[in-house]
Amino acid sequence: MSIVTLLTDFGTADGYVGEMKGVLATAGAVEQVDIAHDLLPHDIDGARLALARYWRRFPPGTVHLVVIDPGVGGSRAALAVESEGRFLVGPDNGVLSPALLHAGARAVVLPIGASASPTFHGRDVFAPAAAQLALGATVDSLGSPHLAPIVRRTPEAERRGDGAVRGVVITIDRFGNAVTNLMARRGGTIEVAGLRLPLRRTYGDADPEAPLALIGSSGLVEIAVRDGSAAARLGLRRGSEVVLRNE
């Protein structure tokens, strides 16, 4: 039985996710796994970053259904993607970038049926396509090649003349940790909010109220405050500048 994961910004209380789950269940032979439905409305960047964390943790054959879709019913394409043995369906707005950026990724454009609600492709386009993939359909059988460039988003860190790398905060997690786009493997120094912080190993490696920098579980530099919110303490938000010096 194939797995279909669900990531949306629909919340659950309105019943929209319930409708999608009903479509999947009716298609049959599908195991549904919730990732999240409480993304901020229209938060394509947050969804992209969450997806980057989990999509390859699931086994080959898994279908990831991703519906953060402010452009629903407009001109944006609906995509089905195969990458690294996993499948993904969702809108062509950058949210599927983590899979699209992999070498060998294939994408097709899903047709929008005449009976599809122009405000709910999650139910009428993406969930049916996810179910077909879970039941063994190939990506190519579901749509046609994408001729226009596909939207791919990635906030690249920038190497400066002095050897330092300039990055930004890309998200604030539930604990108030500020996650950056700076990849790091070992020590170094982080400059953020007027502070210079050595890279530590884990949250407990600093005093309870002191800010610290560490390499998070995805290899990205994070700014944290043990037992508190680094974002609140240092005034950080998405886009705040962070610099890594390998010294």
Exactly one of 44, 51, 63, 184 binds a copy of itself (CB under 8 A); which one? Answer: 51
- The distance of closest approach from Cβ of residue 159 to a copy of itself in the complex, given in angstroms and rounded to an integer, is 25
Identify the residue among 44, 66, 67, 72 touching a copy of itself (CB under 8 A): 72
Q: Which of 85, 111, 113, 118 binds a copy of itself (CB under 8 A)?
A: 118
- Determine the interface stretch with a copy of itself among 15-23, 132-140, 183-191, 231-239 (rule: CB under 8 A): 15-23
Task: Please choose, from the candidates 194, 193, 230, 235, the residue with its C-alpha nearest in 3D space to the C-alpha of residue 212.
Answer: 230
Site string for a copy of itself, 130-169 (x = CB under 8 A): ----------------------------------------
19: contact with a copy of itself by CB under 8 A: yes
Q: 43-77: string of b/e by CB count within 10 Å (b at 16+)?
A: bbbbbbbbbbebbbebeeebbbbbbbbeebeeeeb
**Contact between 113 and a copy of itself (CB under 8 A)?**
no
CB of 38 to a copy of itself, least distance (A): 5
d(CA 212, CA 195): 10
- Decide if residue 92 touches a copy of itself (CB under 8 A): no
CA distance linking residue 205 with residue 207, whole number of Å? 7
The residue (of 141 and 202) whose beta carbon lies closer to a copy of itself is 202
Interface residues for a copy of itself in 200-219 (CB under 8 A)? 201-205, 214, 216-217
Q: Is 24 exposed, middle or buried (0-12, 13-18, 19+ CB in 10 A)?
A: buried
Tell me: does residue 125 bind a copy of itself (CB under 8 A): no
Task: Find out whether 210 and 135 touch, Cβ atoms under 8 Å.
Answer: no
Tokens of 90: 């969702």
Amino acid at 29: A
State phi, psi for 94 to the nearest 5 degrees: 100, -15
Could you tell me how far CA 199 lies from the centroid of its own chain? 25
What residue ranges bind a copy of itself (CB under 8 A)? Answer: 3, 5, 7, 9-19, 21-23, 25-26, 28, 32-42, 46, 49-59, 62, 70-74, 117-120, 123-124, 171, 173-175, 201-205, 214, 216-217, 222, 227
